[in-house]
Amino acid sequence: MNLHELTQRLHRIRDDNDWSGFHSPKNLAMAASVEMAELVEIFQWLNEEQSRQLSPEQLAHAGQEVADVVLYLLQLCSELGLDMEQVVRAKLADNERRFAR
């Protein structure tokens, strides 16, 4: 996945629809949270086993919501001047240090 290319595509959609005025860091963080809540809703009343065995429709829906969350986070990183790959790698390295056995 080329995050730079995905971000450019997102910017084209944003610009073509004149949405840049709505894409403040605050709004993007809130939108990502709403999409995460939509993902959580898929699992709301499932037990552990059911949550691991989604129907094809549920799995497709979960994939759409995961994509929505990721796309909003990419836009948020862009607005904040963060390199998503860099911050994710740094966080993974931190977790490896903290939780290595």
For every one of its 101 residues, what pLDDT tens digit does the chain have, with 9 covering 90 and above? 799 999 999 999 999 999 999 999 999 999 999 999 999 999 999 999 999 999 999 999 999 999 999 999 999 999 999 999 999 999 999 999 999 88
Domain containing 95: what range? 3-99
pLDDT at 101: 83
Q: What is the CATH number of the domain that holds 41?
A: 1.10.287.1080
**Any idea what the Cα angle at residue 56 is, between residues 53 and 60, rounded to 5°?**
105
| Total domain count, the chain | 1
pTM of the predicted model as reported, rounded to 2 decimal places: 0.92
100 SS3 class: coil
The pLDDT score that the predictor gives to residue 64 is 98
pLDDT at residue 77, as a whole number: 98
